């Protein structure tokens, strides 16, 4: 018997609530993560870590991110995204306490443990929050919805970074007194994460968010199908290439500034993160009139040009071009991620896990190689930036190919059944 399309207030409210919870968690998560990023180098200097030790620690962060991707997809597939969020937030609370122990005992092992826990939780929450945002509405608008949610992640990221700078100042050196002050915000974040998990547990979400999938197929069969699908493979490769580009550009940003400019200021304008957030906001506004892939196509092509200018020109023009890359790249991650998930609606948990793994591997390799090249081999930052060109070319190729096929695929989305037996495509 065919399903009768029903669009009840209860269903619409459930979708809105799911999106609201996802947006709020992304904002809080972005703030917590970038609060840690702002404090990382302060902790590293406190423990007298050498450049190679810092590079290896960052690689360990990304390694934990990669290793947890498969367990995350298995958990979300069996128990649902809501329980995954609760577990991720609860475990994340441990990181704050590990940082407190690291400073109280002056023991770097606790610090490394905190880095590993945070890396694992980033992957865990990436694997749950992104699919939730995608599923909170029609498949045809999934990409716009994920970009909208990631605007709040960017705002949280910006707020977290500058909260740390405001509290502790821009100086990387920590005395024992200021070290104790440095962990206070993160202990509060850890306690807040556990409290937030309790709050989320009290919220009743639709079945697609709170229950495991009903697929009878094995997750390995789903993963095999996805890896054999050319569109999904290209999405994973493009996401990895994007991660390499952003890792190279953001890691090289400060050294490029000091190398190419006769005088430099560490200001809000100098940070790529500001322009990254502004780019996401502008991208979401433009999506009211233009398709996301068209915007990404223009932005990624211009980014290829600005990366080339940064590598060739240097000086003020090169530095401005490098900063512009963050603005132009800002919507690439949610656009690629959202496109891949919306094309694999019934395999979303497995697809999200594989995408997270691809991004994590790329970040781990790029961060380690870039840090080693800058701090150990002392290679000219312009050459490091030039290394991003072939990877950005992959992102451009993805945007061009996917953009051409988007109109043809517009009406080919599946009509998955929601928790209430309603075709999801008709719920909004």
What global pTM score does this model have? 0.82
Instruction: Count CB atoms within 10 A of the CB of residue 417.
Output: 14
* Per-residue model confidence as pLDDT tens digits over 36-74: 776 777 777 777 777 777 777 777 777 777 888 888 888
Q: Give the list of residues 6+ apart from residue 250 with CB closer than 8 angstroms, or none.
A: 272, 326
Question: Using CB atoms within 10 A of its CB, is residue 406 exposed (0-12), middle (13-18) or buried (19+)?
Answer: middle
* Contact between 76 and 99 (Cβ < 8 Å): no
How many residues comprise the chain? 428
**Mean pLDDT computed over every residue of the chain:** 77
pLDDT tier at 427 (50, 70, 90 boundaries)? very low
User: 216-407 sits in which CATH class?
Assistant: mainly alpha
Angle, CA of 370, 371 and 374, to the nearest 5°: 85
Domain locations along the chain: 8-214, 216-407
**What is the Cα–Cα distance from 24 to 31, expressed in whole angstroms?**
11
Instruction: Count CB atoms within 10 A of the CB of residue 216.
Output: 6
Q: What is the pLDDT of residue 212?
A: 64
Q: What is the pLDDT of residue 185?
A: 66
Range of lowest pLDDT (14-28, 93-107, 158-172): 158-172
Across the strands, what pairs with 423? 417
Helices (DSSP H) in 47-139: which residue ranges? 51-67, 69-79, 81-105, 108-135
CATH node for 8-214: 1.20.1250.20
Give yes or no on whether 8-214 and 216-407 have one common fold: yes
């Amino acid at each position: 018997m065919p399903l009768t399309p029903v669009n009840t207030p209860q269903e619409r409210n459930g979708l809105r609530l799911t999106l609201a919870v996802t947006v709020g968690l992304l904002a809080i998560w972005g703030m917590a993560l970038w609060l840690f990023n702002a404090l990382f180098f302060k902790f590293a200097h406190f423990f007298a870590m050498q450049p190679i030790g810092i590079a290896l620690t960052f690689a360990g962060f990304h390694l934990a991110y990669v290793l947890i991707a498969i367990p995350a997809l298995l958990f979300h597939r069996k128990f649902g995204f809501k329980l995954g969020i609760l577990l991720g937030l609860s475990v994340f609370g441990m990181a704050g306490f590990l940082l407190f122990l690291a400073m109280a005992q002056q023991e770097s092992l606790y610090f490394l443990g905190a880095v590993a826990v945070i890396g694992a939780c980033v992957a865990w929450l990436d694997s749950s929050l992104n699919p939730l945002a995608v599923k909170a509405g029609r498949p045809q608008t999934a990409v716009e919805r994920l970009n909208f949610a990631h605007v709040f992640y960017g705002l949280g990221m910006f707020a977290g970074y500058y909260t740390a700078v405001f509290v502790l100042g821009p100086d990387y050196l920590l005395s024992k007194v200021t070290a104790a002050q440095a962990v206070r915000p993160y202990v509060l974040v850890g306690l807040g994460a556990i409290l937030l998990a309790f709050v989320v547990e009290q919220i009743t979400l639709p079945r697609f968010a709170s229950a495991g999938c009903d697929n009878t197929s094995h997750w390995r069969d789903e993963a095999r199908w996805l890896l054999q699908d050319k569109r999904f493979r290209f999405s994973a490769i493009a996401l990895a290439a994007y991660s390499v580009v952003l890792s190279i550009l953001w890691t090289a940003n400060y050294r490029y500034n000091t190398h190419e400019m006769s005088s430099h200021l560490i200001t809000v304008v100098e940070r790529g993160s500001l322009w990254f957030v502004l780019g996401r906001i502008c991208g979401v506004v433009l999506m009211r009139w233009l398709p996301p892939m068209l915007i990404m196509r223009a932005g990624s092509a211009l980014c290829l040009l600005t990366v080339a200018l940064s590598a060739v020109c240097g000086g003020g023009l090169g530095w401005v071009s490098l900063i512009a890359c963050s603005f132009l790249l800002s919507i690439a991650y949610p656009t690629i991620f959202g496109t891949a998930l919306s094309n694999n609606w019934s395999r979303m948990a497995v697809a999200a896990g594989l995408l997270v793994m691809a991004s994590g591997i790329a970040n781990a390799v790029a961060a380690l190689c870039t840090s080693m090249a800058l701090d150990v081999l002392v290679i000219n930052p312009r050459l490091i930036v030039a290394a991003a060109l072939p990877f950005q070319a992959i992102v451009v190729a993805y945007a061009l190919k996917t953009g051409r096929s988007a109109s043809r695929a517009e009406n080919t989305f599946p009509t998955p059944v929601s928790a209430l037996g309603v075709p999801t495509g008709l719920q909004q």
